[in-house]
Structure 1
């Protein structure tokens, strides 16, 4: 947690730099950061985009934008959203695929030492890290009632942010645009993508050149995700064959919706064998309501329209097990165009994939947990680059 607190100090220092220039991209240019010596490898911007929060007042959404180190004028713009709901996208910036690796400073309370991350996703894309919904991370409102939100309001607010962001940065309007995220962003991403498409079809300006989306270890459907845990836990050796057999016999495959008290008792035995602690980077002031049980209709609609989709899973994640994700991608009923096969990174098997018609790909990453780029940074940059560039993974 020491590293996290130091990273938060950096975030706070950024706020001090940009509070006077919230809606002015030229003024929000970051030229140096505490703890980093030398020239930044690409342009960085940070600031606030204010959106109308009638009748309760405006919401101020914080973003950190990293221009591509390859070809910013041509490379895709990628929006990154961490999940929770209630987790700051500085989670992804600090621990996963941001431009820096953070090392603790030499003494207590000092800024961390920043070193360039050789596997940053900004190597091949422009990337926006957004703290969403309002109340998460550095995003705030003068009215605490704006921290009461849910799936639908968050979608609307994030879309409003995007429209204003592209107005502030018109030079990126023609770039291919992708939406990405992990965990509860399995809800954020397809719902936001659907809102973006609706605006495109309604000729809303500014026009966004939306091409597709990526979801990592994302929740998608209560039934599929819920039913995936028990077989995952058994396959990973987290529960014994006896517990697994008892669950099979008493639950009859209904692990998400236990049909009887004996099944419930056996499922408690499963949960007691893989207990996770709390994640402190997530905000507790956001009062969030889950409003949509299944993302499958959204995925079906998006892919049927031809938008590209990469659904990836770390195969050691018990929060959203790959077993459930593999099952729901298959349940969409699309024709398989690439049978289950391995994919390589650094001449090693890095995972497996199955590709479907309608530009849908399901991919696993060997040995990765819930936050894939944190565990497998090199492999993550490899599949991210190949997929964005339209090359075989």
Structure 2
């Protein structure tokens, strides 16, 4: 009997281990990464999931999966999506909360060196980084027509990716699953979450154990987001009393769509005052690429219009005709996002040895990696995401809406206003929250599992500017502990 008691658990564990090995896609395991010396802190897997394209061909969506360093068999799995639209989720991987970050002081021309990130989100959860939509980052298609997409197609494609991914990795089906992202992922996340919930309700297999979502500095609603910039600029001391009062008088509180020539002129005064600031974080310097003077003027011009209020929605970038979003690189004739230095990521992800190690297609197939895509033709199709948030939270799904409070692309004031507009009962009045025994920001919690949280001194990409504080609120919220 004693021998039986001893061998059964061992045999059972061996069975589980072999099952997991068989379940994981062959060739997806990453054993080493050029630029990083040492042992990987947890299991890493990467590769492509293919889905049918429209009207023809295949879409090959690239993922990088980082297993939790704590307890991968039980910890949540969190999907991460960068915004844009059209920006690669490797931005989050190497600059925000991935297992590595770049060593400081590296010069251009050699393979960048990586070091472990002490505040990686994979310390307490598994993180699934996805380059979406097709054509972004390392994702590609065998038919260029598949680079034409929009809000609904992107949600549908990503949902199909998830169903296929969980079929490849069935050992993770019981893990709690969350969807997260920042910036234009304020559209990606709730539309995808809604598609996932509809799939669950219809009994679609495999059944995803979806629990909730997180959105950082996410575009949400044209009225609230677009209306927030002028009051934000005034509150941060970026415009004078005279400019603010002129805007109030001529725009009558509606700044996102100038209603008169005088209102429009005053809004232009606001943007003239903001010119030259880093739109992603008003506390940080604006990196200027040392190219030609003419190219610098193009970037400067884009920087001032990148957040200019459009006639239709939000303050991220103006829309073209038919709701089409001109992606940053297309508008600037360059792939550099204003004020952002992406040289190290660009060199690292375009190194063929790196691509081979992470099972990504070579540049001859998938194209050169750039931080925000030039080949995706994207249409904005959803004017407000508030109904999506109401529907999801009313069904009991958890939601954390967080904002770096020094971002002028999607100011926290607009996000605070739209979360309040949901009309939910306040269960925790506005209060500070702590990280390392210091005030790290403020939060207000509502019923229906909705929390709004700010991070003091952070910009648009919160974990990039405040990694320790981001890790603190992330793991507390994910573990269901008070923030």
TM-score w.r.t. length of structure 2:
0.75
Alignment deviations for residues 80-138 of structure 1 (CA, whole Å, 9 cap, x no partner): 00000000000000110000121268664321111100000001000011000000000
**What's 2:428 paired with?**
338
**What's 2:154 paired with?**
154
**What's 1:7 paired with?**
none
Q: Please give the alpha-carbon distance, in whole angstroms, between the structure 2 residues aligned to 1:271 and 1:117.
A: 37
1:337 is paired with a residue whose SS is strand
Which of 380, 386, 403 is the equivalent residue of 1:313? 403
Q: Please give the alpha-carbon distance, in whole angstroms, between the structure 1 residues aligned to 2:102 and 2:153.
A: 34
Q: Please give the alpha-carbon distance, in whole angstroms, between the structure 2 residues aligned to 1:253 and 1:108.
A: 47
Q: Please give the alpha-carbon distance, in whole angstroms, between the structure 1 residues aligned to 2:233 and 2:105.
A: 39
Q: Please give the alpha-carbon distance, in whole angstroms, between the structure 2 residues aligned to 1:107 and 1:230.
A: 39
**What's 2:415 paired with?**
325
1:273 is paired with a residue whose SS is helix
Q: Please give the alpha-carbon distance, in whole angstroms, between the structure 2 residues aligned to 1:100 and 1:292.
A: 35
Contact 2:46 2:62 in 1 (8 A): yes
Alignment deviations for residues 262-290 of structure 1 (CA, whole Å, 9 cap, x no partner): 01111011112224445161001100000
**What's 2:440 paired with?**
350
How many angstroms does 1:36 deviate by?
1.1
Q: Please give the alpha-carbon distance, in whole angstroms, between the structure 1 residues aligned to 2:273 and 2:64.
A: 38
Q: Please give the alpha-carbon distance, in whole angstroms, between the structure 1 residues aligned to 2:399 and 2:30.
A: 32
**Alpha carbons of structure 1 residues 54 and 260: separation in structure 2 relative to 1, 3 Å:** closer
Contact 1:93 1:99 in 2 (8 A): yes
Q: Please give the alpha-carbon distance, in whole angstroms, between the structure 2 residues aligned to 1:352 and 1:105.
A: 34
**What's 1:17 paired with?**
none
Contact 1:105 1:112 in 2 (8 A): no
Contact 1:104 1:112 in 2 (8 A): no
How many angstroms does 1:202 deviate by?
0.4
Q: Please give the alpha-carbon distance, in whole angstroms, between the structure 1 residues aligned to 2:425 and 2:271.
A: 35
How many angstroms does 1:240 deviate by?
1.1
**What's 2:380 paired with?**
290
Q: Which has the higher contact order (CA 8 A, sep 6+)?
A: 2
Contact 1:306 1:359 in 2 (8 A): yes
Contact 2:224 2:417 in 1 (8 A): yes
**Alpha carbons of structure 1 residues 107 and 215: separation in structure 2 relative to 1, 3 Å:** closer
**Alpha carbons of structure 1 residues 265 and 106: separation in structure 2 relative to 1, 3 Å:** closer
Alignment deviations for residues 349-391 of structure 1 (CA, whole Å, 9 cap, x no partner): 0000000010000000000000000000000000000000000
Contact 1:315 1:366 in 2 (8 A): yes
Name structure 2 gaps, 5 residues minimum: 1-22, 280-302, 304-335, 338-369
Q: Please give the alpha-carbon distance, in whole angstroms, between the structure 2 residues aligned to 1:104 and 1:133.
A: 31
**What's 1:173 paired with?**
173
**What's 1:73 paired with?**
73
Q: Please give the alpha-carbon distance, in whole angstroms, between the structure 2 residues aligned to 1:93 and 1:272.
A: 34
- Range that drifts further, 279-288 or 105-114: 105-114
**What's 1:362 paired with?**
452
1:63 and 2:63 correspond: yes
Q: Please give the alpha-carbon distance, in whole angstroms, between the structure 2 residues aligned to 1:165 and 1:104.
A: 35
**What's 1:239 paired with?**
239
**Alpha carbons of structure 1 residues 282 and 207: separation in structure 2 relative to 1, 3 Å:** same
Q: Please give the alpha-carbon distance, in whole angstroms, between the structure 1 residues aligned to 2:150 and 2:439.
A: 40
TM-score w.r.t. length of structure 1:
0.92
Q: Please give the alpha-carbon distance, in whole angstroms, between the structure 2 residues aligned to 1:316 and 1:226.
A: 16
Q: Please give the alpha-carbon distance, in whole angstroms, between the structure 2 residues aligned to 1:358 and 1:230.
A: 31
How many angstroms does 1:296 deviate by?
0.4
Q: Please give the alpha-carbon distance, in whole angstroms, between the structure 2 residues aligned to 1:56 and 1:26.
A: 27
How many angstroms does 1:35 deviate by?
1.4
Contact 2:221 2:384 in 1 (8 A): yes
Name structure 1 gaps, 5 residues minimum: 1-22
1:45 and 2:135 correspond: no
Contact 2:225 2:410 in 1 (8 A): yes
1:302 and 2:400 correspond: no
1:391 and 2:481 correspond: yes
How many angstroms does 1:241 deviate by?
1.2
Contact 1:105 1:111 in 2 (8 A): no
1:375 and 2:465 correspond: yes
Q: Please give the alpha-carbon distance, in whole angstroms, between the structure 2 residues aligned to 1:385 and 1:214.
A: 12
Contact 1:77 1:128 in 2 (8 A): yes
2:480 is paired with a residue whose SS is coil
Q: Please give the alpha-carbon distance, in whole angstroms, between the structure 1 residues aligned to 2:470 and 2:213.
A: 15
Q: Please give the alpha-carbon distance, in whole angstroms, between the structure 1 residues aligned to 2:73 and 2:411.
A: 37
Cα root mean square deviation, aligned: 1.3
